Amino acid sequence: MRPVHVLLPVHNRRAITEEFIKCLRQQTYEPVQLVLIDDGSTDGTSEMVSGYLPGATVLKGDGSWWWGGSLQRGMEFLRKTAGRDDIVLIINDDTRFEADFIEKGVAALLARPRSILLAQLYDAKSRKFLECGVHCDWRRLAFRAIGNSERPNCFSTRGLFMRFEDMCQIGGFHPILLPHYGSDYEYTTRARRKGFVLATCREVKLLGYEDATTTGVRDVALPLPQFLRVIFTKRALHNPIYWTTFVLLACPWRYVPRNLVHIWILFLRQTRLALALHRRTKAA
């Protein structure tokens, strides 16, 4: 059986990560090697994981890696330790899965040459189907989760299986240019551009929890000083600098100019709203 290397970036979500580790320990597939990429946790996450899985590899960051940087460190580690025929699973710690999840994921991947395979996502509370990939409309820079009747053109990295040799061919992540948001879509768009099939399988299922409060800032309806302090940080989903980088790296060139204009017009509108909110706050 081919070894599976699980790349698991974490940051200060000990209780969430612990539930993930319990699922991982129940897997029927062997061998599975966990690479825990702990980007500056201060809540004892690494120690907890090592207690459950003494053989796990722990890579420790200082809190500056974020998602793209964490996966890049994990990939660099695998370049020294993994075989070219090994399997890599990139996954979030806020997911849950059955004992045969990795077994089914590996089987589905190996049945599909030159592919990367994403687990189908279900809501952990309602068990409702959510998505099996994403379609980006590059003309409008709009992203939409899709079902089995449609074809994705990009993936998240939430439960992504690939052969290690294919991972190397696709290339690394961009920790500086895209440290967090957009790093997964850029990577999988690049994979598709290089000829890899974006595949999925109904038998490979993940339960996911939506917990946006622990990863970033999505609501930027703030007075101007707070808005300007937040919008250019790695935590801001709408950071126009990283969206610019994403478009330059991933977007078909014929749509680049219009999308760059769209990004910065949106930023100016957000700034104007922030200024108006600041004036109302001062006047109150």
DSSP string, 162-206: EEHHHHHHH----TTTSSSTTHHHHHHHHHHHTT-EEEEEEEEEE
241-252, pLDDT tens digit by residue? Answer: 999 999 999 999
Inform me whether the pLDDT recorded for 208 exceeds 50: yes
Inform me whether the pLDDT recorded for 214 exceeds 60: no
Inform me whether the pLDDT recorded for 211 exceeds 80: no
Residue 284 has what pLDDT? 67
Inform me whether the pLDDT recorded for 212 exceeds 70: no
Residue 81 contacts by C-beta under 8 Å, 6 or more apart in sequence?
A: 5
Of 191, 6, 5, the C-alpha closest to 86 is: 5
Bigger pLDDT: 220 vs 59: 59
Kindly give the interhelix angle for 183-193 and 66-81, rounded to the nearest 10 degrees.
50
Q: Which CATH number fits domain 4-214: 3.30.360.10, 3.90.550.10, 3.40.50.300, 1.10.10.60?
A: 3.90.550.10
Between CA 65 and CA 245 the distance in angstroms is 17
Q: What is the pTM of this model?
A: 0.94
Q: Which helix (H) or strand (E) holds 106?
A: helix 101-110
Confidence of residue 278 (pLDDT cuts 50, 70, 90): confident
Residue 154 has what pLDDT? 97
Residue 209 has what pLDDT? 79
Confidence of residue 64 (pLDDT cuts 50, 70, 90): very high
Domain definitions of the chain by residue range: 4-214, 224-283
Of 215, 206, 207, the C-alpha closest to 66 is: 215
Residue 125 has what pLDDT? 92
40-61, pLDDT tens digit by residue? Answer: 999 999 999 999 999 999 999 9
